Amino acid sequence: AAKAAGKNCVRTTGEALDRVVDRRARLARDLPAAIADGGLSVALQPVVGVEEGRVLGLEALVRWRHAELGDVPPEEFVGVAEDEGLIVPLERWVLGAATAALAPLLAQGHDLKLGVNVSVRHLQAGCLADDVARALAASGVPASRLMLEITESVLVDAEDRVERELAALREAGCVISIDDFGTGHSTLARLSRLPVDVLKMDRDFVAHIEHDPRAAAVVASVVDLGRTLGMDVVAEGVETPGQLAALRRLGCRFLQGHLLGRPVPVADLAAVLVGPVGGALDGDRTPSHV
C-alpha cells in the first residue's frame, strides 16, 4: 500500500508540476496581447498622512483579468514579464495609465503623489528615465508628483548602470522609494549613498508590531533611520486599529493598508479621496496620543 501511495504521490506531483508549467506557458503566451490590447488595468491604493489626516498619495498596482484563468496575481505575471522580456512594455503601459489617471485629479486640485513600482530589469534596460519622461509629458503630470518604487533586494548589489538611471530620475525631479524595506539586507553605508527619498517598510514588520516587541523595536529603528537620513517612512499593510495606534506611537507618519483603503479601480478614485480614511484615523485619536 505504501508503495502504491508513493507511486501515486509521484504521479500527482508530476501532474501538479505539469499544471504549473502549463499555466506559466499560457501566461507567457497571452501576456503580450494583454499589454498591447487593453487587457491590463491599474488599481490605486491610498497612502495616508497621519498628521495631515488625508490621502497624500496613490500607489498604482497592475491588474490582469485573464479571459479564462481569471485574476492573475501581479507577483505571478510580473515575474513572467521579467523572464520573457516583457517588463519594459508592461511598465510603460502602467506608467501611461497611472499618470493619465492622476492628471485629472491634480487638475481638480487634489494634492497627491503617485507611486509606480518598477522592476530592476527596467532600470537595467537603461530606458526607464526616458519612459518616465514620456509618460509625464503625455499626461502633463509634473515629475515631482511621481514616486518610483524599487524593491530593496535589487539595490543590494546594484550596478553602476542602475545607480546612474536612478540618479537621472531623481535629477529629473522624481521621488525614489525603496519598497519592502527591511527584507533586502542593504547596508546602512550603501543606503546613505543611494539617491533615495522614501523607505516603504515591509508589511511583515507591521503584521507583528502589536504582539512582538522585537518587530516594534525594528519599526522604531527604521523610523529613526529615516529621520537620520532625511527619508520619509511609509508603513505598508496596515490592517488593524491596533497596528495603526502602535505605528503612530512609534512616530511613523505615513500609512498604507487595507485599514486605510484597499486598491480600487480608477473609476472609484473620487470616492476614495472623499472617503472614510479620516474616519480610520479619527477612530484612533485618543488623548494619550496628543
Among 28, 239, 251, 278, binds ligand C2E (CB under 6 A): 239
Measured distance CA(209)–CA(25) in Å, rounded? 40
List interacting residues with Mg ion (CB under 5 A).
117, 149, 179-180, 236
What lies within 8 Å, CB to CB, of 56 at 6+ separation is: 47, 48, 49, 111, 112, 113, 254
**Binding partner of residue 226 among Mg ion, ligand C2E, none, CB cut-off 5 to 8 Å per kind:** none
Measured distance CA(74)–CA(229) in Å, rounded? 31
- Of the candidates 30, 123, 126, the one whose C-alpha atom is nearest the C-alpha of residue 84 is 30
Measured distance CA(266)–CA(43) in Å, rounded? 6
Q: Does 91 bind ligand C2E (CB under 6 A)?
A: yes
Among 99, 119, 177, 186, binds ligand C2E (CB under 6 A): 119
Q: Does 180 bind ligand C2E (CB under 6 A)?
A: yes
- Interacting positions 196-215 with ligand C2E (CB under 6 A): 203
- Residue closer to ligand C2E by CB (options 93, 112) is 93
Shortest CB 168 distance to ligand C2E, Å: 19
- Residue closer to ligand C2E by CB (options 30, 59) is 59
Which three three-digit cell numbers place residue 192? 546613505
Query: Which stretches within 37-144 are classed as H helix?
Result: 74-83, 87-107, 120-125, 128-139
Shortest CB 15 distance to ligand C2E, Å: 27
Binding footprint of ligand C2E on the chain (CB under 6 A) = 45, 61-62, 73-75, 78, 91, 94, 117-119, 149, 179-180, 203, 236-239, 257-258, 263
